[in-house]
Every structure is written in structure tokens, then in C-alpha cells.
Amino acid sequence: MSDAIKHECGIAMIRLRKPAQYYIDKYGTAAFASNRLYVLMQKQINRGQDGAGVANVKIDTKPGTRYISRYRSVEPSAVNFIFDKINRKYKKAKKIGGHDALTDGAWLKENIAFTGEVWLGHLRYGTHGENSIETCHPFLKQNNWRSRNLVMAGNFNMTNVEELFSKLVEIGQHPKEKTDTVTVMEKIGHFLDEENQRIFDKYKHQFSNEQITQLIEEELDLTRILRRSCRDFDGGYAMAGIVGNGSAFVVRDPTGIRPAFYYADDEVIVVASEKPAIKSAFNIDFNLIKEIQPGHALVINKDGSYAEPEIMPAREKKSCSFERIYFSRGTDPNIYQERKNLGRALIPQILKAIDFDLKNTVFSYIPNTAETAFLGMIEGLEDYLAAKRREVFVDGKPFMGDLDELLSFRPRVEKLVSKDVKLRTFITSDDTRDSMVANVYDTTFEVIKSGIDTIVVIDDSIVRGTTLEKSILTTLDKLNPKRIIIVSSAPQIRYPDCYGIDMSKMKDFIAFRAALALLKERKLSNTLDEVYEACLALPYSTENFVKGVYSAFTDEEISNKISEIVTNEDIKAEVQIIYQTVENLHKCCPEHLGDWYFTGDYPTIGGMRVVNKSFANFMEGKTVRAY
């Protein structure tokens, strides 16, 4: 993606189902779980580079013994930094317990931190606010009663934080922050406390307090807690938690916006945001990895048993299509094929744009995540050429060109764009930054026929258009092509996201800027006032009024205007921008229909309210977050 945007965080959980000694004897290391969690997190580093955190909980420790350990970091290599610290614990064990300490599971658990049965890791992409160690997950809600402690981490954004915050105040709490993470944790923590009290009241006349504590840990009903906690949530989420007694959960929103997958056998239960991470860490077949269903939770009891109960009624599944287009690792076989299909689906639009002149067209891609879509695009061109040959040589259709050339012709493919990762533009002042940005990308010279060739370059998506305008087009124009066609494997991004992606301000979208320009040209600027008035008059409406900004224009008109906006006066070549259609997106990713940033069809009420508020903020000149 040429326009870098921050997006969903990543979660990783491991629950060991055997005693520590089992893993030492079988795998020859006391760091079995630590090593696997490290791989799970490294394989999801694409999901969060602002910070990371790891928590570990020991089950059934003696009173006076620490049983929750946590490290967090915002270092540049946060995952390595954390696991280096964890590994030092094992070195310490050998130093204080002797050479045999590392082979004694019981001794390690009693004496060394990060040797418990339940592990929770998190990778953070800070879409809003500061980037500090205090903002890194996992978060802790601590208590002197073990079963009232809560460790939480998640991949989520809530659209109704104000409402949730008010509910906490109404029940008498005094939350220390008005953030979705703290608010969610406090709400789940509240019902965790109530569940503890319910079981205590059940046994208070039959057993001693010490006995009741043990009964509470055995009978704690996480499903009941989650059903009571999540009923007011509006947003996209995959939230993971560990209770101090060792029970754990991962709950997914009813629409399935945020991803969560798990694998279980008699040794481990594993959860991650992406399937390839589980595949790599445990070397298992993809078909053994299951998806946590929307509205359900994977609930792991203290004894290691597990279930996937329904927490809230599932709605129509609208999992984030950006996961498939860009965010998730392309090593997932399904995602890999979907991305190829997205490239292939663009062939009719591309052929029309180049006037079917393949001979004088060179195809390339913007590195490096668009490579898979590029492969699909080339396969689509090969299929087109094969069909043409079949028409001539099998069906006998007339052909005016050279038959030998038709037989041997292949699409012209070159690597035209490469990124200079060493060039740092963020250190320059604003007045010189644009000139620096223009040099972020390099190009390959002497492969384009000057004034004759058309260049077709595919990108994952075009969000703001800044890099395209300031760098990529300028770089490609140095090759002196006749035309430059930029192809987006995603449709036009028109609306903000409020479920995890850092796309919250209307004015940032190149499609929105194009619509504004068209409204001004056609003297329809009163449309903005009408939409604004509707947003103010009905702030709690379930209708997306911002669709009215685009309703007077076709997709092609918006694309053409975008082409004009990103083409500065120094560009000599003709420039055209082509976007994927929403219809083709759904055909290519049929199980992942979340498309609100393209269509404005938000899957939750909160999403509709956010888009209207975001537009109102734009009209009022506010640059604040709309949720």
C-alpha cells in the first residue's frame, strides 16, 4: 500500500494443557510455550509495530507467590526486547537453582516468573493517541482475590465509548480513563466481580472463606460474565482475557469484523489473529485451524477444558475485507488466492484503458504487498491471450495481425518501482518534505519506449493519494511514457473506519476530495450544507447521510477527478486511475463482505453515527476523532 495506514492489532494466546514437566521431557526445554508465543507474535508483527506486551498466569500457586507476570515495550523491536527479558529469567533459574533447575518443572513454576500455563501476547498499532508503554496491552485489573484479577488484550475499537463510560459511572465506578480498552476491561471486570459474589453468596453458609475461594475458581462461569458484559458493546473486536485463576477467553463481535482463529489438541490451545502464525508456530495443517465464530467466544476453563458458546446472536458476517486485500499475511492460502483474484478481476477495465494495446504496455506493481494481486493480473492477461488464440486457431475467427507474434506474445512485465527504505522523510521540515517524498521511490530506466509505451502499475489501495501525487507519478514520469495507469485492487475508499483502521477523517480521502471538487464544479455545493444539517438534526440516526455527497456522481466520474487531482502540472504523461468495483471485491472475497469504507454500509449502529459525526467535524473544521 503506497499510502501507509495503521490498522488492526494482533493477539496471541497459548494455554498449556499438561504439567510443565511434560513439555520439558518431550521437547527438551522449559521455554516451550515462550518459544511458541515468540513465533506467534513475530509472524504477526505486520499487525503492530508501535509496541508489544506479554502476560503469563500460573495456575494454583501457593499464597504469597507471584502468579501474574507482564512485560510491555515500545522499543523499536519490542517483541525481541520482551522475549530477551523473558529468556533472562531462564538464565536466572540456572544461576540460582543449579544446572538441574531447567529440567524441574515444579521448581521453575514456584521460583521463576513466566513459567505459568496461560500466555497472552499483544502487538499494538496505535491508531489514535500517544504511543507509550501505558497504552500497550495486556492491561491488568488487579485484586487480592485471585479470581477477581483480569488480564486483557485485544484487537478492537468501540464506537460507543461514551455510552459505556456512562454506564460504569451509573453503577458507581470511577474509571481512570475514557478509552475503549480501559472501559471494556472495567465493564468485564465489574461482571467478573459480580460472578465472584454470586458464587460466594451461594456457599457462604456452608463453607469457610478459604474453601469458598477454591469453589469460586472452579465454578466461575466465563460465558455468563461475557454475555452480561458484551451486550452493550458496539464495534469490531476480538478480545482476549485471562482471569487470575487461569481460566481464559477470546470473544468476537457478532458481525465478525475482527479476525480470530484457534487450534486445540491434547497439549495446547492456541489463538491468534491470523492462521499462518499458528501454522508456523506449531507446524500443523491449515485445515486444523478453526475460526472463532462471530458472536461466540472461545472459553477455556481452569481445568483446561474448552468450548465455543454463543455470547450474542450472530448477525450477517461482515468481516473486514481490508484484511484480505492488505493487512493479513498473504501466506494464508485463501488470502493468497483472493488477492490473485482481485488482480485478475481488473483485466476488463485495464484492457479498455489501454485500448487493448498490449504490445505497447508495460505492467508492474508498487512494492511489495501488491505483488500477489499483480500475479493475478498477469495470469488474467495470459488467459485473455489464450482466449484470443483459441478464437483464431480453433474457432477460425479472422485475425489481421502477425500469427507468429500472436502465438509467441507475452505481456511485458518489468519491476519499475522500488522503495528506498533508507530514505527518511520524517526528519525534514514541512517546506522540504515534499521534495524528499518525491525521492522515496526509485525507478528502472531504459525499459520504456519514450512517448510510446503505457505503464500500468497495480497498488493494493489508494487511500489519501499523497504518495501517489508526491512521489510515484513523478518517479514514473521520468521514464517518459505516453500514459500512466494506476490500478487499485481495492475500490474507492470514501468513508472512515471506526473498527480498527486509522482512517477516521473525511478530508484525508482522495475520493472525498474528488467529490468535493465535482460538487464545486457543478455548482452543487449546497449538497454539503444539506448533508451537514441532516447529520446535526438526527445525530442518532441509523442512516448514513454522507452517501449524499457522492450520490450525484458515477464511480468513473470520481475516478477521473482523482486522476486530475493527483496529476501535478509537471507530469507530462496522461494519467488515469482505475479502481476495483465493489461487485468484483465481493466475488473475489465472498466470505468477507465488510465494505463500509467503500460503500458506507456500516454493520453496526455506532458505525452510522460515526460517519455522520465525522462529516460534521469536517464541516466544522475539527480534526478530532469521531468516536
pLDDT tens digits for 48-69?
Answer: 888 999 999 999 999 999 999 9
The confidence score (pLDDT) of residue 221 equals 97
| pLDDT at 4 exceeding the cut of 70 | no
Q: How far is C-alpha 503 from the geometric centre of its chain's CA atoms?
A: 12
For the chain, which residues make up each domain, given as ranges?
Answer: 10-154+240-317, 329-498+556-601
> Could you tell me the pLDDT band of residue 125, with boundaries at 50, 70 and 90?
confident
70: β partners: 55
| pLDDT at 432 exceeding the cut of 60 | no
The confidence score (pLDDT) of residue 403 equals 85
Q: What nine digits make up the cell of 274?
A: 491470523
The 3-class SS string of 365-409 reads ECCCCCHHHHHHHHHHHHHHHHHHHHHHHCCCCCCCCCHHHHHHC
Question: Average pLDDT in the 116-120 region?
Answer: 98
73-77, 425-429, 615-619, range with the lowest pLDDT: 425-429
The confidence score (pLDDT) of residue 435 equals 54
SS3 state of residue 474: helix
The confidence score (pLDDT) of residue 434 equals 54
The confidence score (pLDDT) of residue 539 equals 82
DSSP string computed for 61-98: PPTTS--EEEEEE-STTHHHHHHHHHHHHHHHHHHHH-
| pLDDT at 516 exceeding the cut of 90 | yes
> Could you tell me the pLDDT band of residue 6, with boundaries at 50, 70 and 90?
low
| pLDDT at 440 exceeding the cut of 80 | no
> Could you tell me the pLDDT band of residue 427, with boundaries at 50, 70 and 90?
very low
Class of the 10-154+240-317 domain?
Answer: alpha beta
Question: Average pLDDT in the 498-511 region?
Answer: 87
Question: Average pLDDT in the 93-115 region?
Answer: 92
Mean pLDDT in the chain? 91
Question: Average pLDDT in the 141-160 region?
Answer: 93
Greater confidence (2 vs 142) lies with 142
The confidence score (pLDDT) of residue 429 equals 44
H/E stretch holding 459 reads: strand 454-459
Question: Among candidates 464, 516, 501, 507, which has minimal Cα distance to 607?
Answer: 501
The confidence score (pLDDT) of residue 428 equals 42
346-355, 386-395, 587-596, range with the lowest pLDDT: 386-395
Q: How far is C-alpha 51 from the geometric centre of its chain's CA atoms?
A: 15
The confidence score (pLDDT) of residue 420 equals 62
Q: How far apart, in whole angstroms, are the C-alpha atoms of residue 22 and residue 431?
A: 62
SS3 state of residue 102: helix
Q: Does residue 138 have a cis bond before it (omega within 30 degrees)?
A: yes
Question: Average pLDDT in the 267-291 region?
Answer: 97
Question: Average pLDDT in the 499-512 region?
Answer: 87
Question: Average pLDDT in the 582-602 region?
Answer: 97
Overall pTM > 0.75: yes
Which residues have a Cβ under 8 Å from the Cβ of 519 and sit 6 or more positions away? 525, 527, 528, 549, 552
Question: Average pLDDT in the 268-280 region?
Answer: 97
DSSP H stretches of helix in 72-208? 78-97, 105-111, 161-170, 180-203
Question: Average pLDDT in the 217-222 region?
Answer: 96
Question: Average pLDDT in the 79-108 region?
Answer: 92
| pLDDT at 309 exceeding the cut of 60 | yes
Placement of cell 466475488 in the chain = 587
| pLDDT at 424 exceeding the cut of 60 | no
> Could you tell me the pLDDT band of residue 599, with boundaries at 50, 70 and 90?
very high
Fold match flag (10-154+240-317 vs 329-498+556-601): no
Q: What nine digits make up the cell of 390?
A: 483459441
> Could you tell me the pLDDT band of residue 134, with boundaries at 50, 70 and 90?
confident
| pLDDT at 273 exceeding the cut of 60 | yes
Question: Average pLDDT in the 225-254 region?
Answer: 96
> Could you tell me the pLDDT band of residue 122, with boundaries at 50, 70 and 90?
very high
CATH, range 329-498+556-601? 3.40.50.2020
Greater confidence (33 vs 468) lies with 33
| pLDDT at 433 exceeding the cut of 50 | no
Greater confidence (114 vs 326) lies with 114
pLDDT tens digits for 164-201?
Answer: 888 888 887 777 777 778 889 999 999 999 999 999 99
The confidence score (pLDDT) of residue 123 equals 95
